[in-house]
Structure 1
């Protein structure tokens, strides 16, 4: 079974995954396409999430091994995915993968930095597209300029509506393609801000 959800707050995500386990859905994997579950017996389990990216596979393996030696199985996550999911398998292990509140808060700091980095990557691309007129900012504020049919606004009656309705889907597609990058910049910065606020909240608890 596959479910798609989006979380910034890891605590809420952990709670949801643990509730799914109680309903008989074992968490198997997380990707950009959502969460993959397998039907199983209801289970009172503890899943915790860290956020780390690694430059090389060796460091990633050492990281996983450290947790497994502490009674936590690595369920999902890769060297560059960021989010790392662990399931408690040793009943004698501590109920959290973090030893102190500052370490727990640190995952939100790393998440915030990732979102800000992604947003900043899009800024020069957007600026270059605007500078080369690949994106016409002025046209976005004057919708008539988005229509390229010569003399369209001087047409009347059926001739106008035929030309207008024919071109409108292309205008919508062109507008959405132009807005994609600024929307992504806004979303990444927004997510980065929210993650930073969660860092401050957990750091001060």
Structure 2
């Protein structure tokens, strides 16, 4: 049996937690795309899921990384929009992607750089659309709408950027404590 659920998360860790809650209920992720999740019914709690942001990886790096994961008993479920969901059987023990703070901090930096770039692109086009609204071609409403959407997307991106910064600072604080 299949089940499609629509949910939109601004926090990838909350999304991952929800996917694992679904797994605990016997719904296993099969595919995802921008707020659309497809699950299949199975044994409750069989898998532990993780998501990872891999947009900066080149094709060869991804292929090698996916092979490494496969050799480690980890199954790549689906990749979409720079994100990949992977799973491992729960009975094989804990499943963490980052074994040290340095690699986790580097991951947060990569993710933050991407989100900040998208933020500034949306701010730029939002301002640009508002500044050239009335060009005499009766496209003012279209440009105003596009500009408003750009600004709204930029505003929404502030939430994951803030959370990433906060989580990164927590890790850096832990790292200083143990040094």
TM-score, normalized by length of structure 2? 0.76
The answer to whether the 8 Å contact 1:8/1:195 transfers is: no
Q: Deviations over 1:53-95 (max 9, x none)?
A: 14532221111111111221111215xx222221114955652
What is the CA–CA distance in structure 1 between the aligned matches of 2:64 and 2:46, rounded to whole Å? 28
Does residue 135 of structure 2 align to residue 186 of structure 1? no
**What does 1:105-124 correspond to in 2, within 5 Å?**
105-124=105-124
How does 1:26-105 map onto structure 2 within 5 Å? 26-54=28-56, 56-78=58-80, 81-89=81-89, 92=92, 95-105=95-105
**Mean alpha-carbon deviation: is it higher for 85-94 or for 33-42?**
85-94
Q: Which runs of 4+ in 1 moved over 6 A?
A: 172-175
| Distance change >3 Å, CA 129–CA 14, structure 1 → 2 | closer
Given that residues 2 and 34 in structure 1 are in contact (C-alpha distance below 8 angstroms), is that contact kept between their aligned partners in structure 2? yes
Mapped to 2, the partners of 1:100 and 1:107 lie a distance apart of 11
**Deviating more after overlay: 41-50 vs 17-26:** 41-50
Tell me if the contact between 1:51 and 1:108 (Cα under 8 Å) persists in the aligned partners: no
2-structure distance, mates of 1:73, 1:38: 15
Q: Residue 25 of structure 1: CA displacement?
A: 0.5
Counterpart of 2:177 in structure 1 is none
Unaligned runs of 5+ in 2: 136-140, 175-179
Structure (1 or 2) with the larger CA radius of gyration:
1
Normalised to the residue count of structure 1, the TM-score between the two structures is 0.67
Mapped partners of 2:13, 2:161: distance in 1: 17
Q: Aligned in 2, Cα 1:9/1:133: closer, same or farther, shift over 3 Å?
A: closer
- Change in Cα spacing, 1:203 to 1:72, as seen in structure 2 (3 Å) is farther
Gapped regions of structure 1 (runs ≥ 5) = 136-171
**Residues 25 and 39, structure 1, Cα contact 8 Å, conserved in 2:** yes
1:106-185 correspondence runs (5 A): 106-134=106-134, 176-185=145-154
Q: CA RMSD in A?
A: 3.0
